[in-house]
Structure 1
Amino acid sequence: MNPPCGRCTKPVYPTEKINCLDKYWHKGCFSCDVCKMTLSMSNYKGFNKRPYCSMHYPKTSFTTVADTPENLRLKHQTMLNSQALYKEEFEKNKGKGFSVVVDTPEMQRLKKTQEQISDIKYHEDFERSKIRSDAPPPENRQEPTSQELNNQADNQIPVPPSGVRKRYQAMYSYTAAEADEVSLKEGDFIDDVEFIDEGWLFGSNQRTGQRGMLPANYVRPV
């Protein structure tokens, strides 16, 4: 039995048939769906199993992949491969105590926020560690003699109230540990002294002209 034509539906005889786009066509019926220009096997373009010329071929923004048996087989094979790969990765990482986190834009934003918080905490801890103790570091301190300790115990250093400026004299030598501190030699006079806290004063070394912080237990008021 002769098959029907894909356009006129009349029977197509073997001497005039064209087999294309899963249909049979009369040679004269194999034409563009829009302008009716007669086409051949070398210049037609198929879309949804209909023939078009190059001028009237439907323009699409994406490529449609037909669900042919071969494409369905490849799709199924790809899915099986993906599942096998996932199972392999799962078995490999099982028991290691960590999970794989996808590096999405949201995860990158959270990671950046955590880094900023960590950086702020680091600076806070660093500034807190710079707070000086009441006594100066051991490497900068020259130990006084027993007689000097006895004299110091008998004559405690009065601490002036905040804002009161006075003249002091160094009882021991001291090497500045920070840029804002003043180095002392035993006997140096310190002018314009200002009380900071129980462990530190602020004043000018008359001998060097240097002005800055100095340990309160290294000097005595004059």
Structure 2
Amino acid sequence: MNPPCARCQKIVYPTEKVNCLDKYWHKACFQCEICKMTLNMKNYKGYDKKPYCNAHYPKSSFTAVADTPENLRLKKQSKLQSQVQYKEDFEKNKGKGFSAVANTPELERIKKNQEIVSNVKYHEEFERSKGISAASAERRNSHETQEYRPQPERNLGYQPQAPSHQEPPTPVYDPPPAAPYAPPPSTGKRFRAVYDYSAADDDEISFQDGDLIIDVQQIDEGWMYGTVERTGDTGMLPANYVEAV
């Protein structure tokens, strides 16, 4: 038995039958529900078991979902995982500085390397070498004391003259004073300053980048003793602030 057409309800014969959307249609009755344009199996779109053309196909609209506790939990979890939450926290914490970072082995290694090349390490070496500096200053002070020791005054006068019937006395001169203590011979080493340095103690010297340091003597691995040619000052200086000429 031939079925009825889904639109006109008339009998559909096999030669003009269209089987679509679980219904039977006449070829002329298979039209868009809105504009009545005749459709075929290639250009139709079905919605609610009714044919539509591409222009009048109903658009799907989303329904509002109630804010149940489960939906609120899922929404909060999705928000925390999204970039939106990160941007909000970033804007909120602008200008508040950085938070403390855990001391991982890699960060400890980087921190140690930075400490070695920093000025903190230099000050530690400076404090350690203070004992050597004090001993060197004491030796230098003793040398200067001997070098500038007051000399005895020469007695170039004559003894009081005796009466004329006696022979004139022979002038008596004091022996010449001993030669002052000479400083240790110069090593002749010359260094050039590569940084500015301000003396941190009385036994140190200040110099500027490019100054020539002459008569340099090595005290230990970190300190030297020499004279700044520009100023004439003599004293101790850090070895890592100069280079050999």
Both proteins in one fold, TM over 0.5 = no
Q: TM-score, normalised by structure 1?
A: 0.37
Q: Could you say which structure has the larger radius of gyration?
A: 2
